[in-house]
Amino acid sequence: MVGAGGRLNFRKASAFRNSNACASPSPKTQIGGACDPNLVHVAITLDVEYLRGSIAAVHSVLLHSLCPESVFFHFLVSETNLEALVQSTFPQLKFRVYYFDPRMVRSLISTSVRQALEQPLNYARNYLADLLETCVERVIYLDSDLVVVDDISRLWTTSLGSKTIGAPSTVTPTSPTTSPPLSGRTSGFRHF
């Protein structure tokens, strides 16, 4: 992970290609436009401390997606030097980097039991509507400490009804709401 000169780097990922069942990407998507309505939008934070987890999360989304070329990533950063790392690791990835100014929330954060909760970037998800392009009407936010084990488009197509936010219930490995991958169930998912 740490290369020559102390720079962070990861091995270049293989190209992830859509299956034949996927719609062809529109010309806007091919040039990197985030406003294509056929895209699945995923937001995730990138910082040096949790970079390995974020890269693993991106890889898991692409690996399990039937249509990885239709996934657009929105990376929230408070350090501006990580874009080149993402580009070198995932050369075909459709993404945009958004700078989140830590000063926006620093004075609002109280000390907590978990040091990670004291990091301003942890609160960037609350500002997604202000940071992303106005054409992005829906986005899936992923924490940097998870791995996706199913096609993210299944979550993307989950109806929220008239609700604004959907989130998983607290699920443990022994919880009766835990759903195995590809089970076809969405139990454990709540709408707010």
CATH of the domain at 107: 3.90.550.10
- Give the domain range for residue 45: 35-154
48 and 119 in a common domain: yes
pLDDT score for 26: 60
Q: 77: closest CA among 49, 107, 55, 101?
A: 101
The predicted model scores a pTM of 0.78
Let me know whether 127 and 44 are in one domain.
yes
pLDDT tens digits, residue range 138-176? 999 998 888 888 899 998 998 888 888 887 665 555 555
Could you tell me if 67 and 125 lie in one domain?
yes
For range 87-107, the mean pLDDT: 86
How many domains, the chain? 2
* pLDDT tops 90 at residue 73: yes
**What pLDDT sits at residue 186?**
40
Query: What is the DSSP code string of 61-129?
Result: HHHH-S-GGGEEEEEEESSTT-HHHHHHH-TT-EEEEEE--GGGTGGGPPP-SSGGGGSGGGGGGGGHH
pLDDT (0 to 100) of residue 34: 86
> Would you say residue 5 lies in a domain?
no
137 found inside a domain: yes
Place of tokens 């709401």: 177
Confidence of residue 191 (pLDDT cuts 50, 70, 90): very low
49, 106: one domain: yes
Spatial distance between the Cα atoms of 89 and 75, rounded to a whole number of angstroms: 14
Residue 96 lies in a domain: yes
Same domain, 134 and 98: yes
